[in-house]
Amino acid sequence: MARTVLITGGAGFIGAHLARQLLEEGHRVRALDALLPQVHGAGGRPGYLAPEVELVEGDVRAPDVVRKALVGIDAVVHLAARVGVGQSMYEIAEYTGVNGGGTAVLLEALLEHPVERLVVASSMSVYGEGLYLGPDGDPRPPLERSRAQLERGEWDPVGPAGEALVPVPTPEAKPASLSSVYALSKFDQERLCLLFGSAYHVPTVALRFFNVYGPYQALSNPYTGVLAIFAARLLNGRPPLIFEDGEQRRDFVSVHDVARACRLALASEGAAGLAVNVGSGQSISVNGISERLGTILGGGVQAEVTGKYRVGDIRHCFADITLAGDVLGYTPQVRLDEGMAELAGWLEGQVAVDRVDDATAELAARGLTA
């Protein structure tokens, strides 16, 4: 059955891909987006946004704007958020205001305009460190990495008795451990929506996205995904800057798979009330992903492993996607090599303003990196 779906943050790169998939299924799509300059540059309707999408420019924190955007809507995918661990540590009011406050405004508006289903974008950042096992094979909570430990270049967390730990895929059952303002704000979004859904009988699903990559990423935003940041450096003939030793492991998932997970969540009855990981189910080191990106862009510029650290960063976190398969029927379809090749094709002819040095200097001036 065709629906009219509102995507908040719908002019962003995930929202644009989701919109295309929904349109292909015969749905109608409206996007609400503030078109922030940090993400969209000069502003205006992005060229990559499908022409069939009705775009409403406005702030998710504005009640009148949100209420108007909800008129005639059957389902909502809530993607609108400020994104970036480092920036969140000093733009505290902005991140909590947009992510938590904007979600609250949306939910209050939904009291007046009920919908059939709500899907909210959460984040792997809510886990802090991923799941680790001790020498006996049992789960162990890692000790938080102290600044003294980081200054010594001792990057891997240890267990309560100082024992070595082994990182393994992180399931949804792992308790949240909020190591940045961004992580806290995403957890707020997740919990607000799930609480609302339970109280008002709105089937609601929170999707914990891991490291999303693909075409339409904001290359000039120095606080966006690591692959986009690395690409911006390489396109300007400059080396990507890698923190710590580069052996921290992440789960990189194609935006096509993430958009498909959102579509599945709009239809799945079994996922209602749950937080569900959306990743590739595979892990790779930051060094490894940098090498692959450099190769597909022609090589020539090697990444610089800085040995520095950032407050709020975690060491290892990659997804256990068993639950997504069980309740959504989700299986990743884009292998990393295929997704990277697609990204390389899109990057040809793209112009990126490299603002990484400015962002790094901002963090350093505030004592958030060393």
Q: pLDDT per residue over 226-254, tens digit each?
A: 887 888 788 888 888 999 999 999 999 99
| Mean pLDDT of the region 200-224 | 89
pLDDT band at 364 (very low <50, low <70, confident <90, very high): low
Output the CA–CA distances (angstroms, integers) from residue 31 to 125, 130, 256, 301, 343, in the order listed: 25, 33, 18, 38, 24
Q: Nearest Cα to 275, choosing from 321, 328, 207, 327?
A: 207
Residues 94-135 pLDDT 10s: 999 999 999 999 999 999 999 999 999 999 999 999 999 999
Domains and CATH numbers, the chain: 4-130+170-365 (3.40.50.720), 131-169 (no CATH)
Which residue did the predictor score with more confidence, 185 or 232? 185
Q: Which residues are designated catalytic?
A: 182
Could you tell me which residue, 198 or 343, shows the higher pLDDT? 198
Instruction: Kindly list the distances between the CA atom of residue 188 and the CA atoms of 57, 58, 210, 350, in Å, as whole numbers in the listed order.
Output: 24, 22, 17, 35
More confidently predicted of 349 and 172: 172
**Residue 318: pLDDT over 80:** yes
Residue 347 predicted with pLDDT over 90:
no
**pLDDT given for residue 349 in this prediction:** 75
pLDDT band at 85 (very low <50, low <70, confident <90, very high): confident
Neighbouring CB atoms inside 10 A of 135's CB total 12
pLDDT above 70 (res 78): yes
Q: Are the CB atoms for 300 and 342 separated by under 8 Å?
A: no
Q: What is the mean pLDDT of the chain?
A: 92
Average pLDDT, stretch 75-96?
94
* pLDDT the model gives residue 368: 66
The answer to whether residue 344 scores a pLDDT higher than 70 is yes
Encode pLDDT of 254-296 as tens digits: 999 999 999 999 999 999 999 999 999 999 999 999 999 888 8
Other beta carbons within 10 Å of 253: 28
* pLDDT of 159: 95
A 10 A CB-CB count for 333 gives 11
pLDDT at residue number 326: 98
- Look at residue 272 in the predicted model and tell me its pLDDT: 97
Q: What is the pLDDT of residue 162?
A: 93
Q: What is the mean pLDDT of residues 171-185?
A: 95
For residue 369, pLDDT over 90 is answered with no
